[in-house]
Amino acid sequence: MDIAKLREAHPDHWMRAAAIRTLTLDAVAAANSGHSGMPMGMADVATVLFKNHLKFDASAPLWADRDRFILSAGHGSMLVYSLLYLTGYEEMPMEQIKNFRQTGAKTAGHPENFLLDGVETTTGPLGQGIANAVGFAMAEESLRARFGAKLQNHFTYCIAGDGCLMEGVSQEAIALAGRQKLGKLVVFWDNNNITIDGTVDLSDRTNQPMRFKSAGWHVQEIDGHDPEAIDAAIEAAKKSKKPSMIACKTHIAIGHAKQDTSKGHGALTDAAELKATKEAYGAPLGAFEVDAKVKGEWEAIGAQGRGARADWQARFDEQSERRQAEFNRVFAGDAPKKLSAVIKAFKKQISDEQPKMATRSSSQKVLEVVNPIMPETFGGSADLTGSNNTLTEGLGTFDETNRKGRYVYYGIREHGMAAAMNGLALHGGVRPYGGTFFCFTDYARGAMRLSALMRIPVTYVMTHDSIGLGEDGPTHQPVEHLAICRATPNTVTMRPCDTVETAEAWEIALTSQTSPSVLVLTRQGLPTLRTEHKNKNMVASGAYVLAEAEGKRQAIIVATGSEVSLAMEAREILQAEGIGTRVVSMPSMELFAEQDESYRRQVLPAGPVRVGVEAALRAGGWDRWLLGERGRESKQAFVGMTGFGSSAPAEELYEKYGITTANIVAQVKALL
Amino acid sequence: MDIAKLREAHPDHWMRAAAIRTLTLDAVAAANSGHSGMPMGMADVATVLFKNHLKFDASAPLWADRDRFILSAGHGSMLVYSLLYLTGYEEMPMEQIKNFRQTGAKTAGHPENFLLDGVETTTGPLGQGIANAVGFAMAEESLRARFGAKLQNHFTYCIAGDGCLMEGVSQEAIALAGRQKLGKLVVFWDNNNITIDGTVDLSDRTNQPMRFKSAGWHVQEIDGHDPEAIDAAIEAAKKSKKPSMIACKTHIAIGHAKQDTSKGHGALTDAAELKATKEAYGAPLGAFEVDAKVKGEWEAIGAQGRGARADWQARFDEQSERRQAEFNRVFAGDAPKKLSAVIKAFKKQISDEQPKMATRSSSQKVLEVVNPIMPETFGGSADLTGSNNTLTEGLGTFDETNRKGRYVYYGIREHGMAAAMNGLALHGGVRPYGGTFFCFTDYARGAMRLSALMRIPVTYVMTHDSIGLGEDGPTHQPVEHLAICRATPNTVTMRPCDTVETAEAWEIALTSQTSPSVLVLTRQGLPTLRTEHKNKNMVASGAYVLAEAEGKRQAIIVATGSEVSLAMEAREILQAEGIGTRVVSMPSMELFAEQDESYRRQVLPAGPVRVGVEAALRAGGWDRWLLGERGRESKQAFVGMTGFGSSAPAEELYEKYGITTANIVAQVKALL
């Protein structure tokens, strides 16, 4: 690489980009850990983007109409941190750069949105960022349609590496973006031909431009070190009505001895090589030093959006008070005030009418009263709309012909859907929910974990939640998925037993600010068990006494979802035989675990025998509630699954696996 | 659709295909459940494939050199079942067809390999089959290189639907197949333009032929109802040196009132419509009736491979006895006899030398002695070769220039790798293992579950197994993944504490016949704790007493993997203070749970206080061993993680989260 020639051609640009490169080298060397090569390779693209295109104001990282900049290749985190430092984000003083990857620093190994406002999304697991970006771009289209271009009108830029493009989730994202004609989405492919194992062709020979074109994208190929070419390409991308991919031919770790090698991908810490690299750059500075002139130029870039933001603010201030409040409400993620009353009224009606229905249908009933009063809900399904019951009348299909539509046909793309929903939630202004079969949380898992880690209120509508799915068989019957969701930190898993609990679960999901929710819903019909109306949201306590023992309390049956009605039937039989039996409905183990001990003791007192019932594995958290919490090994049992299910009608499967009223009764008696 | 014209054009072909269609309609109607449209739409393709191309013998479903036929669109299971019945597989009498989707039948809702020899792989979760097929084709290439074309020389055919192609895993598979130039792989795309939610363009407008071309495939587009076109396309596909995709324009539920609609995708059960469809087909037969002539033709097709199989057998019989035995051994999945001795010798050497190393390096050391004596091992990594330590000297890179290579650079494709490994294992003759970071089991999860369900011995080499990964931060630090793997039925999760346990874990993985293994390995160095050589495989018992209490046994510390050495240090301190402390190493909860109660009681007797230690969440199965198994709530504690980790050097993280010797000691004392 002829660095000298690059320097000469665009000296000011070069020095600005070099500041990113030297900060990266210094931070990685100090941490003795990290990834130097990618920020070095993409510094030119980022510099041109930030200087000439990105609409942002470093003093207002949360400005609602900023352009979004997403680093899908999250290992190159020093690119983001350098940019935030150079442009003058308050959260990013030099101290943070110096503490890259250290305890307590905001400069984590990979960018983490919950540590830094300047980071739009948490990346590192490859392919997620580009799939998030699709969600960001969808949110922008939706909000522009709702609030007008005066308030929402921005681009979403994303840098993706070879790793991102090899991950399957990227294909789901690319195809979805192409279908949706997301014209304000621009993806830069860092085409450096290097992965950890070697050159890309060791594992991949995809013609990426052709691949993107096949999905309906606008594609350009440029020299990623030529600022003029970069600028022109971004200009053209912005004009295209299709999503745009700019293939940027770059040199990983440019100018360094490890340039264009796998070693250049990782931590470049050799002091002599580092020094030589800085010299080649024409920036022979000490560690963490940035030329004052260059820093000044970058700070000016950080400030150049101030005018645009002031104009935006002026436009915002011209809006009616009501419109302003609504805009602020949806961006704050606050539920409308009347949600609570609507849910209560719905619950009361259900307790009166006592319908028998599958909780997936209950969920739709809830959405039918919620969606009209929460214009920020943004629903969808991974091609199971009729099965997930996620669509309500009047939502309208979101597509290129109707950006006011609030329902997305995500296609058979669970992972892409979940990652897009993450982007939608991160963008702000919309509240996404999406459905698939509960078993296919497997496919979405990579993104579901990130919903939790990123602390965003995405709602997963997971139907067909057990062997109750029946004939489709074990490939479609979740048994371990409750265990998976419950084991994931900061994820609220709720398995309601009837329509009333489903409404309460939705209320929790719709008012959540920092946790994703997983609604685990049945295919099969269930009776209404909450026949006595209560204003209080009982699901919020995680577990509660649904039916008290009559006479001496000898047994407690703890059940969730579709098995609560079995527990109630078992109670009838036991009570008839004089065995005082309490039924505890436990829709959410996580929420119950958060209650104080006195409440938990009230619900699960010492003494009575305990039987847990759930059409899933005991590994889904049951040991704590049966053996622990004042339980005793010799006085407990579990009725549920012990392995994979099988293909047969649902009722027969319940019999086959012994998840029956008779077995619950037998288990209780055996313990007494 | 002009059915009459199709019938006239190829009357014999038509009636053969119609038999598939009518059986499908009858079986789905009887079950009142299932998917009619896909088998109806693809019956022509399947008929031509089976009649003119597929090398198989219905009387020998496990013939090692048969062509493999994979239905990636598994919901169309009646296509497979019809073909098996019609061609005369013994396992598929009419009784099975009549019991489609019923309790105890082999005709499960989706094809299940473990129920039927004639089913190559379990499909239903979309995209898996096409990704399995890549593994099948790789196995064939590898075995052809090893045993010669006389013994291995077959095609792998796969039918994929729109759903398969939308799933991200298909992109990983397609790109891998293109890179690997798997010329003997032929994929039929059932291009019927229908998904459950509507026409495909509702969610996707990908130019699929262009997409496949971009990945290096040979692509043809045909009328999927024209037998001549189908035949010619297969002929051309077989000649191509690239993997081939044949886009078959078809009509879902052809000839039925619901043709070309989403309703046609599901269960078509209306009696009048069914009757009308059969009439249109010219096959106005009763339920489950097949014209005797047509059945005869199909049975002849089922028998036409008999000669080829006899020829193959003759060629096989000409091989040396040793070669025959070796071929049979690897297809039976039996480990070589000397494996046991090699592992023992290795263990002895390690116990003598007592190296300190990360268990990922231990794993490589084991592979270094195993790979030379097990020519069936077939390794790889999702672009983390140097980090996963999965490559050993002399394996050679498997690619189009070297089919004898036994190491695959899978690229950044965890899901595709796992699904390909499933295909490799299902094919037989090779024993696949592959590595990635443990956290990215999230990406591979869809296929990992299927390894377990399908009962195949795939080995997952999962390194960087905790916060011990350090600076990369919470996106890369598993905390819930042990819970996930342990909750998955029929999956043996092993987290060895040192090199000796790692060798024992590998021995279990390499001799497994019906379970996948997950090896959970550290990034960071660990001391050798098994310093006294034992021939016995201690990991096989799941947990065992690593160090007995001296004096009165007051405490038991149970730990896994990297935390066992902390437990040993804590024991030292406690013993010095006169507190008799046993250390139990528990590398595999699943294997320990399988032991009889007397052994479990021996390891975990009632009485002493118990402290569990694992740098992961308690939800990973700990409640059972601490609260249950004679444990008591007031006499136990857990030292581990309570949520996501963070980015910092590993040692600091262990301190931060209290996973330290000092804390273990403190917990024990607090309980006493």
Distance between CA A93 and CA A58 in Å, rounded? 12
Q: What is the pLDDT of residue A47?
A: 98
Q: What is the pLDDT of residue B366?
A: 98
Query: How many whole angstroms from its chain centre is CA A339?
Result: 24
pLDDT in tens, B390-440: 999 999 999 999 999 999 999 999 999 999 999 999 999 999 999 999 999
Using a CB-CB cut-off of 8 Å, the residues of chain B touching A175 are 166, 204, 206
| Contacts (Cβ under 8 Å, ≥6 apart) of A316 | A150, A151, A324, A327
A592 close to A601: Cβ distance less than 8 angstroms: no
Cα distances from B117 to residues A265, B81, B92, B279, B429, in angstroms, run: 46, 12, 10, 34, 16
pLDDT in tens, B511-527: 999 999 999 999 999 99
Is the CB of residue B451 less than 8 Å away from at least one CB of chain A?
A: no
CA atoms within 13 A on the CB side of A548: 4
Cβ of B109 within 8 Å of Cβ of A410? The answer is: no
Cβ of A206 within 8 Å of Cβ of B216? The answer is: yes
The residue type of B125 is P
Q: What is the pLDDT of residue A526?
A: 98
Examine residue B28 and state whether it is found in any structural domain, yes or no: yes
> Model confidence at B17, in pLDDT bands (50, 70, 90)?
very high
Cβ of A487 within 8 Å of Cβ of B484? The answer is: yes
The residue type of B316 is F
Same domain? For A521 and A625 the reply is: no
Beta-ladder partners of A555? A581, A609
> Is pLDDT at A276 greater than 90 in this prediction?
yes
Distance between CA B599 and CA B622 in Å, rounded? 18
Catalytic annotation present for B507: no
The residue type of B74 is G
> Model confidence at A4, in pLDDT bands (50, 70, 90)?
very high
Q: What is the pLDDT of residue A448?
A: 98
Is the CB of residue A263 less than 8 Å away from at least one CB of chain B?
A: no
Cα pseudo-dihedral B326, B330, B333, B335, rounded to 10: 60
Examine residue B321 and state whether it is found in any structural domain, yes or no: no
pLDDT in tens, B38-90: 999 999 999 999 999 999 999 999 999 999 999 999 999 999 999 999 999 99
A190 close to A250: Cβ distance less than 8 angstroms: yes
Distance between CA A158 and CA A174 in Å, rounded? 12
B194 close to B235: Cβ distance less than 8 angstroms: no
Examine residue B531 and state whether it is found in any structural domain, yes or no: no
Question: Which residues 201-260 of B are in CB contact (within 8 Å) with A?
Answer: 201-208, 210-211, 213-216
Is the CB of residue B372 less than 8 Å away from at least one CB of chain A?
A: no
Specify the CATH number for the domain of residue B63. 3.40.50.970
Domain boundary among B293, B308, B323: B308
Burial class (CB in 10 A: 0-12, 13-18, 19+), B1: middle
B452 close to B112: Cβ distance less than 8 angstroms: no
The H or E element that residue B585 is part of is strand B580-585
Same domain? For A553 and A490 the reply is: no
| Contacts (Cβ under 8 Å, ≥6 apart) of A531 | A351, A354
For tokens 């041109």, the residue is: A48
Same domain? For A454 and A549 the reply is: no
Question: Which residues 155-194 of B are in CB contact (within 8 Å) with A?
Answer: 162-164, 166-172, 175-176, 178-179
The H or E element that residue A179 is part of is helix A168-180
Q: What is the pLDDT of residue A672?
A: 96
Same domain? For A614 and A510 the reply is: no
Nearest alpha carbon to residue B423 among B408, B436, B411, B438: B408
Same domain? For B558 and B515 the reply is: no
Distance between CA B638 and CA B298 in Å, rounded? 63
B497 close to B559: Cβ distance less than 8 angstroms: yes
pLDDT in tens, B312-359: 999 999 999 999 999 999 999 999 999 999 999 999 999 999 999 999
Domain boundary among B285, B308, B331: B308
Examine residue A533 and state whether it is found in any structural domain, yes or no: no
> Is pLDDT at B153 greater than 80 in this prediction?
yes
Q: What is the pLDDT of residue B94?
A: 98
- Sheet with B636-641, strands from edge to edge, namely B544-547, B580-585, B553-559, B609-617, B636-641
Return the structure tokens found at A286: 């000490």
pLDDT in tens, A130-150: 999 999 999 999 999 999 999
- Classify strands B198-199 and B194-195 as parallel, antiparallel or unpaired: antiparallel
Cβ of B103 within 8 Å of Cβ of A649? The answer is: yes
Distance between CA B120 and CA B134 in Å, rounded? 13
DSSP track, B143-201: HHHHH-TTT----EEEEE-HHHHHSHHHHHHHHHHHHHT-TTEEEEEEE--EETTEEGG
Q: What is the pLDDT of residue B74?
A: 98
Distance between CA B641 and CA B655 in Å, rounded? 11
Same domain? For B18 and B144 the reply is: yes
Same domain? For A143 and A250 the reply is: yes
A368 close to A392: Cβ distance less than 8 angstroms: yes
How many domains does chain A contain in total?
Answer: 3
Examine residue B39 and state whether it is found in any structural domain, yes or no: yes
Q: How many residues does chain B have?
A: 672
Which residues of A are identified as catalytic?
Answer: 414
Best probe of the A interface among B81, B443, B464, B523, by most A CBs < 10 A, is B443
Q: Where are the beta strands (DSSP E) in A264-414?
A: 357-358, 377-381, 407-409
A578 close to A665: Cβ distance less than 8 angstroms: no
Q: How far apart are the first and last CA of chain B?
A: 80
> Is pLDDT at A1 greater than 90 in this prediction?
no
> Is pLDDT at A385 greater than 90 in this prediction?
yes
Q: What is the pLDDT of residue A9?
A: 97
Q: What is the pLDDT of residue B93?
A: 98
Q: What is the pLDDT of residue A128?
A: 98
Examine residue B298 and state whether it is found in any structural domain, yes or no: yes
B24 close to B98: Cβ distance less than 8 angstroms: no
Cα distances from B663 to residues A453, B627, B669, B672, in angstroms, run: 26, 20, 10, 14
Is the CB of residue A446 less than 8 Å away from at least one CB of chain B?
A: yes
Cβ of A627 within 8 Å of Cβ of B628? The answer is: yes
Using a CB-CB cut-off of 8 Å, the residues of chain A touching B110 are 472-473, 475-476, 647
Same domain? For B552 and B517 the reply is: no
Three-class secondary structure of residue B558 per DSSP? strand
Specify the CATH number for the domain of residue B562. 3.40.50.920
Q: What is the pLDDT of residue A420?
A: 98
The residue type of B493 is T
The residue type of A399 is D
Q: What is the pLDDT of residue B575?
A: 98
For tokens 């008290």, the residue is: A548
- Classify strands B553-559 and B609-617 as parallel, antiparallel or unpaired: parallel
| Contacts (Cβ under 8 Å, ≥6 apart) of A667 | A611, A637, A639
Q: How many residues does chain A have?
A: 672
Residue range A329-349: mean pLDDT, rounded: 98
Distance between CA B348 and CA B352 in Å, rounded? 6
- Classify strands B198-199 and B218-223 as parallel, antiparallel or unpaired: unpaired
Using a CB-CB cut-off of 8 Å, the residues of chain A touching B75 are 472
Q: What is the pLDDT of residue B78?
A: 98
Same domain? For A147 and A97 the reply is: yes
Same domain? For B519 and B558 the reply is: no
| Contacts (Cβ under 8 Å, ≥6 apart) of B179 | A201, A203, A204, A205, A206, B215, B216, B399, B411
pLDDT in tens, B200-228: 999 999 999 999 999 999 999 999 999 99
Examine residue A490 and state whether it is found in any structural domain, yes or no: yes
Same domain? For B504 and B562 the reply is: no
Examine residue A318 and state whether it is found in any structural domain, yes or no: no
Return the structure tokens found at B91: 């396992």
Cα distances from B123 to residues B460, B490, B513, in angstroms, run: 20, 18, 20
Is the CB of residue A629 less than 8 Å away from at least one CB of chain B?
A: yes
Burial class (CB in 10 A: 0-12, 13-18, 19+), B474: buried
Distance between CA A440 and CA A436 in Å, rounded? 7
Distance between CA A670 and CA A554 in Å, rounded? 12
> Helices A359-370 and A499-511, interaxial angle, to 10°?
50
Q: State the residue range of the domain holding A385.
A: 339-526
Using a CB-CB cut-off of 8 Å, the residues of chain A touching B180 are none
Three-class secondary structure of residue A241 per DSSP? coil
> Is pLDDT at A610 greater than 90 in this prediction?
yes
Beta-ladder partners of A515? none
Query: How many whole angstroms from its chain centre is CA A220?
Result: 30
Domain boundary among A258, A285, A308: A308
Residue in A110, A122, A172 nearest the CB of B168: A172
Using a CB-CB cut-off of 8 Å, the residues of chain A touching B170 are 168, 171
> Helices B37-48 and B227-239, interaxial angle, to 10°?
60
Q: What is the pLDDT of residue A567?
A: 98
Same domain? For A520 and A573 the reply is: no
Radius of gyration, alpha carbons of chain A: 28
Give the minimum alpha-carbon distance from A281 to chain B in angstroms, rounded to a whole number.
Answer: 28
Residue range A456-470: mean pLDDT, rounded: 98
Q: Mean pLDDT score of chain B, rounded to an integer?
A: 98
User: Do the annotations mark residue B10 as ligand-binding?
Assistant: no
Residue in B31, B409, B416 nearest the CB of A197: B409
Is the CB of residue B443 less than 8 Å away from at least one CB of chain A?
A: yes
pLDDT in tens, B237-250: 999 999 999 999 99
Q: What is the pLDDT of residue B291?
A: 97
A247: left (phi over 0), alpha (psi -120 to 50) or beta: beta
Beta-ladder partners of A185? A156
Q: Mean pLDDT score of chain A, rounded to an integer?
A: 98
Three-class secondary structure of residue B556 per DSSP? strand
Cα distances from A206 to residues A170, B6, B210, B323, B385, in angstroms, run: 13, 39, 11, 39, 21
Is the CB of residue A486 less than 8 Å away from at least one CB of chain B?
A: yes
How many other C-beta atoms are found inside a 10 Å radius of the C-beta of residue A307? 10
pLDDT in tens, A198-214: 999 999 999 999 999 99
Give the minimum alpha-carbon distance from B176 to chain A in angstroms, rounded to a whole number.
Answer: 7
> Is pLDDT at A94 greater than 90 in this prediction?
yes
Nearest alpha carbon to residue B546 among B607, B501, B591: B501
> Model confidence at B198, in pLDDT bands (50, 70, 90)?
very high
Best probe of the B interface among A208, A472, A485, A589, by most B CBs < 10 A, is A472
